[in-house]
Amino acid sequence: MYSEKISIKYKLAEKEVLIPLSAFLFVGMFLIANFLLNLSLELIETTFSDLLHPKPFHMEVGFLFQMPIAEHPIYYMLVFLVVIGTIARTVYKLKSSFKNLNNHQKGSSRFTTVEELKKQYRAVPDREESFKGGGGVVISRLGDKVFIDDSPVNNLIIGTTRSGKGETFVFPTIDVYSRAEHKPSLIFNDPKGELFSASKDTLEERGYHIEVLNLLTPLDSMSYNLLQLVKDAYKDGDYSTAQALCKTLSHTLYYNPTVKDPFWQQCAMSLCNAMILAVTDKCIAEGTEEKITMYTVANMLSELGSKEVIVDPEADPQNALDLYFEGLPADSVAKMQYATSNFSKGTTRGGIFTQTMNGLSIFTFDEIAKMTARNSVDLKRVGFGKTIKGKVAPRKRVEIIFPDGSKESIKADITGRFALDFKQVIQVGDTIQCNEKENPQTKTSISITKIDEKTGHTEFKVVEEHEDMKITKVDYFNKPVAIFMITPDFDSSNHVIASIFVRQLYFILAKGASLARGGKCHREVIFCLDEFGVRPYGHIRNLCGKEIGVCA
């Protein structure tokens, strides 16, 4: 038990001293008030009643105890207020001046009592049974119940090797979250693959869709094309988002906060952005979208960056990469991003190309190239599984009426495209209606004909269509997602892929949450990052600082 010798001055601020002192002041000040009142009354009746023939003046001890409250109620009311105010001021000054400031320091803590646990945390069944509401972090166990913290907070669990972090915290937490009525999506860092091996079957039985980003054996991994989000945004005409995603990717590849001269990494970012945007634009225009990969970007720099082309026999040879970007339109974002490299000459230019290729070289290895050639995971479904997309006149507000009668609205962008993430339940045979809010006559209705529960792909037929209002796609994926990132601690060469994955996932979730009603993901997302201290996720501090329904 914590104890220490307390200085005598601190006792002046304790209630054992303040209560008797307050009582003493209260009684003493009232006695003085009685004495002054009775003394004044005696003077008025004797000395001041007849100045020429004054009566004898008598001062008695009884003046202290005589209280003519009925005759002078206003006086005693004022005295009472002054006494209370004086006592309150005196007590406040004593507590402020002499209270012990060494409370709640190291050594003064204690374990929470059972009664405090019951008041502060929610109790749920300790195993197998599902329960109402959402899950939470396991705090304590009592009998056949566990107490969980279901508030949106971040938790740091520290323990030495073989201290039981996994068995006493990680696995029970996974179990509690997966048994909840409102199941969250789960993102795991799993250095050895132990969490995946132990949890896969159980999570699938409880309705989870499982994906594995396996950097230990990439050929056994899910397909993960780092440029898939850029490609999707580009195809939707959302060029600003495509550029932002491109910048996020290149920043993760090249940013190093410890370098003294950031010129080289900034130039490498610009060159990487230029090539990604150029490859995306060219492949979409030619109908070869399958070539939009980081391998293609690396190959482009390798082939064109080192190739000299003779355009004019009388002039010096020109770099093939320069010629390619010179042929792009003047308003091309890729061309403007390439300007930094284009301005540089000689050894500076060679240094920029080398720095850029150094970051891209990881994607030229066979296993990584194959893993990143396709994409099998939709990151948006981690937090938003239900989406309806369409096209209308630019900047028009669209109202969508769901089968249950509820309404949602969204404003189309400058190209007329809109994408609404919704929470409502739909079934085969249900009808969804979209119309312009300002002009209800511009409306389109669809009927749901098929929903693939595994993929979320939804088919529909048009019941009523207006030429200025089209519904292009409906996704209805109603399963929580669990993604395991197997990142071996003995080989950090591929860790940048996991870092980019987390950055892109957070980008998508944060953007969706900022546009959603309530400012949160429709499905809670939990990051359980085992061995967090030695993983390349330093940027995740930004994630922990946001309230978007994401916890780490």
What's the pLDDT tens digit per position in 49-73?
Answer: 666 666 776 777 777 888 888 888 8
> Residue 512's closest CA among 422, 433, 393, 392?
422
The stretch 226-245 carries a mean pLDDT of 90
The stretch 487-512 carries a mean pLDDT of 91
CATH of 386-476, one of 1.10.3430, 1.25.40, 1.10.10, 2.60.40: 2.60.40
pLDDT digits (tens, 9 = 90+) for 180-214: 999 999 999 998 899 999 999 999 999 999 999 99
Provide the pLDDT for residue 518: 86
Provide the 3-class DSSP secondary structure of residue 528: strand
> Would you say residue 112 has pLDDT above 80?
yes
The stretch 498-526 carries a mean pLDDT of 92
State residue 188 phi and psi, 5-degree precision.
Answer: -115, 140
Our CA dihedral for 117, 121, 127, 133, rounded to 10 degrees, sits at 160
> Would you say residue 534 has pLDDT above 70?
no
Provide the pLDDT for residue 545: 43
Is residue 48 very low, low, confident or very high in pLDDT (cuts 50, 70, 90)? Answer: low
Provide the pLDDT for residue 272: 95
d(CA 286, CA 293): 15
Residue 474 contacts residue 399 (beta carbons within 8 Å): no
Residue with the larger pLDDT of the pair 311 and 228: 228
CB atoms within 10 A of CB 152: 14
Residue 304 contacts residue 324 (beta carbons within 8 Å): yes
Query: In the structure encoding, which two tokens stand for residue 70, read together?
Result: 């009925």
**What is the SS3 string spanning 184-250?**
CEEEEECCCCHHHHHHHHHHHHCCCEEEEEECCCHHHCCCCCCCHHHHHHHHCCCHHHHHHHHHHHH
Residue 415 contacts residue 237 (beta carbons within 8 Å): yes
The stretch 133-159 carries a mean pLDDT of 90
Report pTM. 0.78
Edge-to-edge, what's the strand order for the sheet holding 185-189?
209-214, 481-486, 185-189, 525-529, 550-551
> Residue 175's closest CA among 227, 221, 220, 130?
130
Is residue 281 very low, low, confident or very high in pLDDT (cuts 50, 70, 90)? Answer: very high
d(CA 228, CA 242): 10
d(CA 61, CA 335): 102
Opening angle at CA 92, ends 87 and 95, nearest 5: 125
Query: In the structure encoding, which two tokens stand for residue 208, read together?
Result: 């989870």
The average confidence (pLDDT) of the chain is: 87
Residue with the larger pLDDT of the pair 147 and 540: 147
Q: Is 505 exposed, middle or buried (0-12, 13-18, 19+ CB in 10 A)?
A: buried
Is residue 550 very low, low, confident or very high in pLDDT (cuts 50, 70, 90)? Answer: very low
Question: Any idea which of 3-7, 12-16, 131-135 has the lowest mean pLDDT?
Answer: 3-7
pLDDT digits (tens, 9 = 90+) for 285-307: 999 999 999 999 999 999 998 88
Residues 6+ apart with CB under 8 A from 458: 448, 450, 451, 452, 474, 475, 476
Amino acid at 496: V
Question: Any idea which of 35-49, 233-247, 284-298 has the lowest mean pLDDT?
Answer: 35-49
Q: Is 294 exposed, middle or buried (0-12, 13-18, 19+ CB in 10 A)?
A: buried
The stretch 85-108 carries a mean pLDDT of 78
Can you say whether the dihedral through the CA atoms of 32, 33, 34, 35 is positive or negative?
A: positive
Provide the 3-class DSSP secondary structure of residue 283: helix
Sequence-ordered alpha helix ranges (H) in 306-451: 320-326, 333-337, 339-343, 346-360, 366-371
DSSP letter for 466, please.
Answer: B
Domain regions of the chain by residue span = 8-98, 120-177, 225-375, 386-476
Burial 240-277 (b: 16+ CB within 10 A, else e): ebbbbbbbbbbbbbbeeeeeeeeebbbbbbbbbbbbbb
Residue carrying the six token digits 């529909």: 460
Query: In the structure encoding, which two tokens stand for residue 17, read together?
Result: 């001293």
Query: In the structure encoding, which two tokens stand for residue 51, read together?
Result: 């100045």
**What is the SS3 string spanning 72-96?**
CHHHHHHHHHHHHHHHHHHHHHHHH
CB atoms within 10 A of CB 134: 18
Task: Tell me what percent of the residues of the chain surpass a pLDDT of 70.
Answer: 90
Provide the 3-class DSSP secondary structure of residue 252: helix
Residue 341 contacts residue 270 (beta carbons within 8 Å): yes
d(CA 170, CA 211): 19
Residue 309 contacts residue 323 (beta carbons within 8 Å): yes
Is residue 546 very low, low, confident or very high in pLDDT (cuts 50, 70, 90)? Answer: very low
Can you say whether the dihedral through the CA atoms of 535, 540, 545, 550 is positive or negative?
A: negative
The stretch 145-173 carries a mean pLDDT of 88
